[in-house]
């Protein structure tokens, strides 16, 4: 079986725009801004200003969620350069349009997958991802790895090879990444590569099951390689009432994701009877993060990714027209709102299975894939280009 | 520069600004009232949602001149002294906020909805267009129903 898939660029669109206050003097600088990598930020600002590395002080302040965007600190360098040029403290705020048209984005990608099966058994699974070069220019948060990344351009390959896996007994499995340098401003976006690779894999699991005449849950039960993954799958299948009778044009979809020493499953229901505006009507999640430290916070993370999943898969992406971003604000970048969201997202936190794993980026791939799988089952059409709305 | 007087959170307030200055920047930059947030500047993200004479509105697209002589309430003026508004209390009980940036606008939108419609249906709540990038919508919905029942 050969299938291919495409994902559009997706901006982070942090509701709080990028901003920074900078006070640059002749021998030192002080900056106030929200940042996930303040050490390399202070070092890069020092380089931009021609100051010694130890003479830039960064005050990290609270800010609205950025979903990966504030790993980079572009506005800090801009504010510092402006303050240096005019000799006064500067408060810089990007506009929403700056952010949407000139900000960073999840790299657009193309995926080719070949799944080989014989007599009902999987023999091999090959997934090749091509994407616009992923920028990890912040390194591991300090200047040495940041320079290493810049010199070698290998942050994407390293991260891909460290994180990507196929959590199924699919015979010989291989996944590769090929990056194309288009000088595009990219960055990590919630779940990074898994937000595309794992989503594709979970859509393919449904496709393989369909070609074998197998139920998607039953097929996963037989092929998932870990007991923890099977446990979360079984939990959403039972509590979400998998296989219940539903009207034509509506359907359930299911998906699993295994990463960060954690595992989760999502079961969503979608209503596609209004073809122009499909709506996710219900979602059930089961999360095993090893040990939940803050269950209400974990539940919030597991709920929030449903909004990300339905937005990115159904209607939110940007278009590039003659080299420029078409979208400019939340009017045309159609991220989900209240009337797109399921009335409830039930989250089941599994009993402790070990030491704490990750939670914030865990759910997005499974939530997104479950939306796509539900859409495919509701409409009888395999979606291959995301967002589905075009 | 023209002078404008309006009621801000129960206090008569006078500012000297150009007539077409969006109220959001009068509030944030002139008066230091930062509960209303900038997220788009064109009235679509609704992070600045506040009340004008009791109705929800977007200060980012409302010129100062249109607010002269009227009552403006921001999130800072919603509570009754130390007593939280029922919507604020419901927000705490449902632990709604994630990053929190959109939440002042969400709370002001919910309070305005409940003032005009004390028992909103899910379809009524769907009409709230405020953007939440963290995806707290299901908890916002629960909090509005909780506040309606309070």
DSSP code of residue B148: H
Give the distance from residue B69's alpha carbon to the nearest chain A alpha carbon, in angstroms. 30
Best interface-test mutation with A: which of B42, B125, B133 has the largest number of A CBs within 10 A? B133
Of B47, B128, B138, the CB nearest to A343: B138
pLDDT at A162: 86
Residue pair A98/A66 in contact (Cβ under 8 Å)? The answer is: no
Token pair in block for residue B66: 């249109």
Give the distance from residue B126's alpha carbon to the nearest chain A alpha carbon, in angstroms. 4
Token pair in block for residue A250: 């509506």
Q: What is the chain A residue with the closest CA to B98?
A: A300
Q: Cα-flanking dihedrals φ and ψ of residue A266, to 5°?
A: -125, 140
pLDDT at A196: 98
Give the distance from residue B107's alpha carbon to the nearest chain A alpha carbon, in angstroms. 14
Q: If you average pLDDT over every residue of chain B, what do you get?
A: 97
State pLDDT tens for residues A198-244: 999 999 999 999 999 999 999 999 999 999 999 999 999 999 999 99
Cβ contacts below 8 Å, chain A against chain B, sum to: 104
In terms of DSSP bridges, do strands A324-325 and A320-321 run parallel, antiparallel, or are they unpaired?
Answer: antiparallel
ipTM of the complex: 0.95
**Of A173, A203, A199, A13, which is closest to residue A109 (Cα–Cα)?**
A199
Q: Is A98 on the interface with B (CB under 8 A)?
A: no
Distance CA A351, CA A288 (A): 7
Q: Which residues of B touch A96 (CB under 8 A)?
A: 39-42, 45
State pLDDT tens for residues A267-298: 999 999 999 999 999 999 999 999 999 999 99
Residues of B with CB under 8 A from a CB of A: 37-42, 44-45, 47, 95, 98-102, 122, 125-141
Per-residue pLDDT 10s for chain A (390 aa) are 999 999 999 999 999 999 999 999 999 999 999 999 999 999 999 999 999 999 999 999 999 999 999 999 999 999 999 999 999 999 999 999 999 999 999 999 999 999 999 998 999 999 999 999 998 888 888 888 888 887 777 788 888 988 899 999 999 999 999 999 888 899 999 999 999 999 999 999 999 999 999 999 999 999 999 999 999 999 999 999 999 999 999 999 999 999 999 999 999 999 999 999 999 999 999 999 999 999 999 999 999 999 999 999 999 999 999 989 999 999 999 999 999 999 989 999 999 999 999 999 999 999 999 999 999 999 999 999 999 998
pLDDT at A154: 74
Q: Cα-flanking dihedrals φ and ψ of residue A20, to 5°?
A: -165, 145
pLDDT at A143: 82
- CB atoms near residue A147 (< 10 Å): 15
Give the distance from residue B82's alpha carbon to the nearest chain A alpha carbon, in angstroms. 25
Of A17, A65, A338, the CB nearest to B99: A65
Give the distance from residue A93's alpha carbon to the nearest chain B alpha carbon, in angstroms. 10
Distance CA A268, CA A364 (A): 13
Q: Cα-flanking dihedrals φ and ψ of residue A268, to 5°?
A: -120, 160
Contact yes or no for B41 and A95 at CB 8 A: yes
Q: Is A343 on the interface with B (CB under 8 A)?
A: yes
Residue B113, burial from CB neighbour count under 10 angstroms (0-12, 13-18, 19+):
buried
Distance CA A270, CA A56 (A): 51
Q: Which residues of B touch A303 (CB under 8 A)?
A: 135-136, 138-139
Best interface-test mutation with A: which of B138, B139, B140 has the largest number of A CBs within 10 A? B138
Distance CA A244, CA A347 (A): 19
* Per-residue buried b or exposed e for A305-316, using 16+ beta carbons within 10 Å of the residue's own CB: bbbbbbbbbbbb
């Amino acid at each position: 079986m050969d299938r291919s898939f495409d994902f559009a660029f997706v901006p982070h669109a942090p509701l709080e725009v990028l901003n920074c206050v900078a006070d640059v003097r002749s021998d030192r600088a002080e900056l106030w801004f929200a940042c996930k990598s303040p050490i390399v930020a202070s070092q890069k600002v020092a380089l931009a200003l021609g100051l010694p590395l130890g003479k830039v002080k960064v005050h990290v302040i609270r800010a609205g969620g950025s979903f990966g965007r504030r790993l980079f600190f572009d506005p800090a360098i801009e504010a510092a350069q402006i303050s240096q040029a005019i000799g006064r403290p500067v408060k810089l705020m990007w506009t929403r349009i700056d952010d949407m048209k000139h900000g960073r984005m999840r790299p657009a990608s193309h995926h080719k997958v070949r799944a080989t099966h014989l007599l009902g058994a999987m023999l091999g699974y090959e997934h090749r991802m091509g994407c616009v070069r992923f920028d990890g220019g912040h390194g591991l948060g300090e200047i040495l790895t940041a320079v290493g990344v810049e010199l070698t351009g290998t942050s994407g390959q390293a991260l891909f090879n460290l994180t990507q896996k196929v959590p199924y007994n699919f015979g010989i499995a291989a996944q590769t990444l090929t990056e194309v340098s288009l000088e595009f401003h990219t960055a990590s976006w919630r779940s990074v590569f898994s937000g595309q690779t794992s989503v594709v894999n979970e859509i393919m699991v449904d496709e393989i099951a369909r070609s074998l005449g197998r139920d998607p849950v039953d097929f996963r039960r037989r092929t998932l390689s870990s007991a923890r993954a099977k446990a979360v799958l079984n939990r959403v299948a039972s509590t979400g009432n998998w296989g219940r009778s539903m009207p034509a044009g509506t359907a359930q979809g299911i998906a699993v994701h295994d990463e960060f020493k954690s595992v989760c499953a999502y079961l969503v229901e979608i209503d596609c009877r209004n073809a122009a505006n499909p709506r996710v009507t219900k979602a059930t999640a089961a999360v095993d993060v090893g040990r939940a430290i803050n269950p209400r916070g974990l539940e919030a993370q597991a709920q929030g990714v449903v909004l990300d999943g339905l937005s990115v898969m159904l209607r939110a992406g940007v278009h590039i027209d003659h080299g420029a971003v078409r979208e400019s604000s939340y009017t045309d970048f159609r991220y989900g709102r209240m009337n797109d969201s399921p009335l409830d997202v039930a989250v089941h936190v599994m009993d402790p299975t070990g030491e704490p794993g990750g939670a914030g980026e865990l759910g997005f791939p499974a939530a997104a894939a479950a939306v796509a799988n539900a859409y495919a089952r509701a409409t009888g059409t395999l979606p291959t280009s995301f967002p589905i709305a075009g | 520069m023209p002078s404008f007087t309006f009621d801000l959170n129960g206090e008569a307030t006078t500012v000297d600004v150009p007539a077409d200055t969006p109220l959001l920047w009068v509030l944030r930059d002139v008066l230091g009232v930062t509960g209303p947030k900038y997220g788009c500047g064109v009235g679509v993200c609704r992070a600045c949602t506040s009340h004008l004479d009791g109705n929800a509105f977007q200060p980012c697209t409302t010129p100062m001149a249109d607010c002269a002589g009227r009552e403006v309430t921001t999130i800072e003026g919603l509570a009754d002294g130390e007593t939280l508004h029922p919507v604020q209390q419901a927000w705490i009980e449902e632990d709604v906020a994630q990053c929190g940036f959109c939440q002042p606008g969400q709370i002001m939108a919910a309070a305005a909805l409940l003032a005009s419609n004390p028992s909103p249906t899910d379809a009524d709540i769907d009409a709230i267009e405020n953007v939440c990038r963290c995806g707290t919508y299901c908890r916002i919905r629960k909090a509005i129903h909780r506040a309606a029942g309070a």
